[in-house]
Amino acid sequence: MSAPVFELSSVLVIRNPVAGQRRGRRFQEGLEKLRRMVPRVEVCDTLARGDALQRARDADGDLDAIIAAGGDGTINEVITGLMARPDGPLPLGILPLGTANVLAHELGLPIPPDLAVDVICRGVVGQIHLGQANGHPFAMMAGAGFDAMVVEDLPTGLKRLAGKGAYVWQTARQWLRPLPGPYHVAFGDERVMASAVIAANGHYYGGRFVVAPAARLTEPSLELCLFLGAGRWAALRALLGLVTGRAHRLKDVRIVSVRAARIEGLSTDPVQADGDIVTRLPVDLSIMPTPLPVILPKGAAV
Task: Please list the pLDDT of the chain residue by residue as tens digits (302 residues).
Answer: 455 555 799 999 999 988 755 566 788 999 999 999 999 999 999 999 999 999 999 998 899 999 999 999 999 999 999 999 999 999 999 999 988 899 999 999 999 999 999 999 999 999 999 999 999 999 999 999 888 887 776 656 555 554 555 555 566 566 656 677 799 999 999 999 999 999 999 999 888 889 899 999 999 999 999 999 888 888 778 778 877 888 888 899 999 999 999 999 988 899 999 989 999 999 999 999 999 999 999 877 66
Domain that holds residue 159: 136-287
Q: In sequence order, which ranges of 108-231 are alpha helices (DSSP H)?
A: 113-122, 146-153, 156-162, 164-175
Number of domains in the chain: 2
Whether 275 maps to a domain, the answer reads yes
In 59-186, alpha helices (H): 72-83, 102-107, 113-122, 146-153, 156-162, 164-175
- Cα gap 112→116, rounded to integer Å: 6
Q: What is the CATH number of the domain that holds 7?
A: 3.40.50.10330
Does the residue 255 lie in any domain? yes
Taking Cα atoms as reference points, which of 191, 160, 153 lies closest to residue 269? 153
pTM summary value: 0.90
Q: Are residues 194 and 95 in the same domain?
A: no
Q: Which residue, 128, 162, 181, sits at the end of a domain?
A: 128
d(CA 75, CA 10): 19
Q: Which of 237, 300, 295, 302 has the alpha carbon at shortest distance from 95? A: 295
Residue finishing a domain among 128, 144, 176: 128
User: Would you say residue 298 lies in a domain?
Assistant: no
Residues 6+ apart with CB under 8 A from 289: none
294 in a structural domain: no
